[in-house]
Amino acid sequence: MNIQPSTNLLYEGKAKKLFATNDPEILWVEYKNSLTAFNGQLKDSLTGKGALTNQISCFLFDQMNKNDIPTHFVEQTGELTHIAKKVEIIPLEVVIRNLTTGSLCKRLGIKEKIRLPRPLLELYYKDDDLGDPFVSDEHALLFGWSNENDLSEVKRMALKINTILGELFDSIGIILVDFKLEFGKTSDGKLVLADEISPDTCRFWDKDTMEKLDKDRFRQDLGDVLGAYQEIFNRLQDAIK
């Protein structure tokens, strides 16, 4: 079927709009140029940002599909758009950390930029009003945000994704510091990786210079956010040549 978007806007978030299509199981995703941080307290718009995050995310989801990680991603349909399977999102943000930085250091007083002996997996409850609080497996199970089977599969997939992405970025001179994933269930009950993987949701540091090439440039007011995102896109293009 030739998928066409409808004008029926189903959802508008901080970074994306979701439209219904002529297939009830398929959504039309349109990336926005807006950038937010600290739960929306810091806001800006950057022309060209949406095209970069969409294209980077499409590229990385395609790599996941090719590596037997089931995802919601179907195909890119334009610079700013792609189509994806409709899913019910599990309300957990899964963060994987390879090096220490960000909220981990703030919360626990841990030193910055230390490589962890193994990846650290954390769960956050996806609720903007509460500021996405840190939670344990026990909270996730007890309050029914997930179940034992799904949660162990989510963790297995997240760690596999970390290995695949880590090697890919290493091959283009970038350290995958940490990142956030979201998972969902399709209407037939299949668990899939969803949302996005981009410099908005990952931390990328240049291997040689340790320069930050992700949304921390915006969070910390380091300048040239677009240049950093473009650099990630360019290097990924080189990775497949």
Select the residue interacting with ligand ASP from 3, 37, 69, 105 (CB under 6 A).
37
| Interacting partner of 179 out of ligand TMP, ligand ASP, none (Cβ under 5 to 8 A depending on kind) | ligand TMP
- Torsions phi, psi of 2, nearest 5? -80, 110
Select the residue interacting with ligand ASP from 39, 187, 234, 237 (CB under 6 A).
39
Distance CA 114, CA 86 (A): 38
* Encoded tokens for 175: 């350290």
Select the residue interacting with ligand TMP from 5, 28, 100, 178 (CB under 6 A).
178
Select the residue interacting with ligand ASP from 19, 31, 36, 198 (CB under 6 A).
36
Select the residue interacting with ligand TMP from 33, 65, 103, 186 (CB under 6 A).
103
Residue 16 vs 215, nearer CB to ligand ASP:
215
The interface with ligand TMP within residues 192-231 (CB under 6 A) comprises 201-203
| Interacting partner of 26 out of ligand TMP, ligand ASP, none (Cβ under 5 to 8 A depending on kind) | none
| Residue position matching structure tokens 């030739």 | 2
Given the rule CB under 6 A, which of 3-11, 34-42, 159-167, 222-230 is the region that contacts ligand ASP? 34-42
Burial of 91 (0-12, 13-18, 19+ CB in 10 A): middle
The interface with ligand TMP within residues 6-65 (CB under 6 A) comprises none
Q: Could you report how far apart the first and last alpha carbons of the chain are, in Å?
A: 31
Quick one: which of 146, 213, 180 has its CA closest to 15? Answer: 180
Q: Which long-range contacts (CB under 8 A, 24 or more apart) does 102-109 make?
A: 102/178, 102/203, 102/216, 107/134
Q: Which residues of 140-172 are buried (b: 16+ CB within 10 A; e: fewer)?
A: beeeebbeeebbeebeebbeebbebbbebbeeb
The interface with ligand ASP within residues 201-230 (CB under 6 A) comprises 215, 219
Contact track, ligand TMP, 108-147, x by CB under 6 A: ------------------------x---------------
- Is residue 14 close enough to count as binding ligand ASP by CB under 6 A? yes
- Which residues contact residue 132 at a Cβ distance below 8 angstroms, ignoring those fewer than 6 apart? 39, 93, 124, 125, 126
- Is residue 116 close enough to count as binding ligand ASP by CB under 6 A? no
Q: Is 38 helix (H, G, I), strand (E, B) or coil?
A: coil
- Is residue 40 close enough to count as binding ligand ASP by CB under 6 A? yes
Per CB under 6 A, residues contacting ligand TMP are 95, 102-104, 132, 178-180, 201-203
Per CB under 6 A, residues contacting ligand ASP are 14, 36-40, 215, 219
